[in-house]
Amino acid sequence: MSLSRLLDGGRPGVEGMSPFTLADYTDEILGSGFPAVRRLAGRARRAQLDGYLARIVDHDFPEQGHRVRRPRTLRAWLTAYAAATSTTAKYGVILDAATAGESEKPAKTTVIAYRDVLSQLWILDPVPGWVPTRNHFTRLQQSPKHHLADPALAARLLGATQASLLTGAETGPSFPRDGTLLGALFESLAALTLRVAAQVAEATVHHLRTATGVHEVDFIIERADHRVLAVEVKLAASVEDQDVVHLKWLRSQLGPDLVDSVVITTGPEAYRRPDGIAVVPLALLGA
């Protein structure tokens, strides 16, 4: 299913079958999108990811002109950021998770340096809040939704395995989030897929959350003319009416400026619901 066709606004037919199971998607999360990592397996893959993360702390920061006096603290902050994947948690909350039980916390300037350098290195790749040009809304939250460049990095920082993800076992620092870690990492995998496809379509990717948190849409794909495609991500094989409440609300707000609505799932089939909302397994979504 082509994202470009969905963005065209013609409400194209949606069909197709995917053989992917939840375990397959978990493998994709852990397998990484980095070519040099992806061809490896097991211990070799884990070692490559560990080496990549160690290089960030030991080499990339100094090369950017920032000497890391407390490498353990930087690693802890990056791990806490990984735990915040797919949330809009404030940076103070991330810092608290990184330094739980510690009386001495890094200065604010230090944390800002972490964030800025990691962003320059494209390790942090947050999805910005949507700012609608046509001013349909008066109060939207502008906090970014946190993502690392590759969900495999987040999983490795948190010590997640296929077994822990599939069983819902918590790994890494305790962090408040809606749903499971697997759900957060699946959304991050979807973010990576959508950003690649949106770049081909010359579109940009955002998220939407009202200031009160009453309504939120996981992804807003905006065309050059500011019309948008709305995307929700569900770690589920089927889609129920309650799963599309926010998409229907957005349709009522935007009217013709909303070109289409999609729910990305882990299910086997792509189709359109009677209400017109497309349901697409992530494995079937392309540029």
Find out whether 128 and 206 touch, Cβ atoms under 8 Å: yes
Percent of the chain with pLDDT over 70: 99
Indicate if the pLDDT at residue 135 is higher than 70: no
Burial of residue 32, with CB atoms counted within 10 A of its CB: 0-12 exposed, 13-18 middle, 19 or more buried: buried
Query: Which among 141, 111, 148 has a CA at the least distance from the CA of 215?
Result: 141
Give tens-digit pLDDT for 145-160.
999 999 999 999 999 9
Contacts 24+ apart (CB under 8 A), 167-174: 172/79, 172/82, 172/83, 173/76, 173/79, 173/80, 173/83, 173/97, 173/98, 173/100, 174/97, 174/100
Model confidence band, residue 251 (pLDDT cutoffs 50, 70, 90): very high
Q: Where are the domains of the chain?
A: 3-284
Q: What is the pLDDT of residue 110?
A: 87
Indicate if the pLDDT at residue 259 is higher than 70: yes
The mean per-residue pLDDT over the stretch 89-103 comes to 87
CA 276 vs CA 10, 33, 142: distances in Å? 12, 32, 29
Give tens-digit pLDDT for 22-67.
999 999 999 999 998 999 999 999 999 999 999 998 899 989 888 8
Find out whether 151 and 158 touch, Cβ atoms under 8 Å: no
Distance between CA atoms of 193 and 214, rounded to whole angstroms?
27
Give tens-digit pLDDT for 24-34.
999 999 999 99
Find out whether 30 and 152 touch, Cβ atoms under 8 Å: yes
Give tens-digit pLDDT for 162-221.
999 999 988 888 788 888 999 999 999 999 999 999 999 999 999 999 888 889 999 999
Give tens-digit pLDDT for 205-237.
999 998 888 899 999 999 999 999 999 999 999
Query: Which among 194, 161, 125, 137 has a CA at the least distance from the CA of 46?
Result: 161
CA 20 to chain centre: 20
Quote the tokens at residue 106. 């890094």
- What is the pLDDT of the chain when averaged over all its residues? 93
Q: What is the pLDDT of residue 133?
A: 78
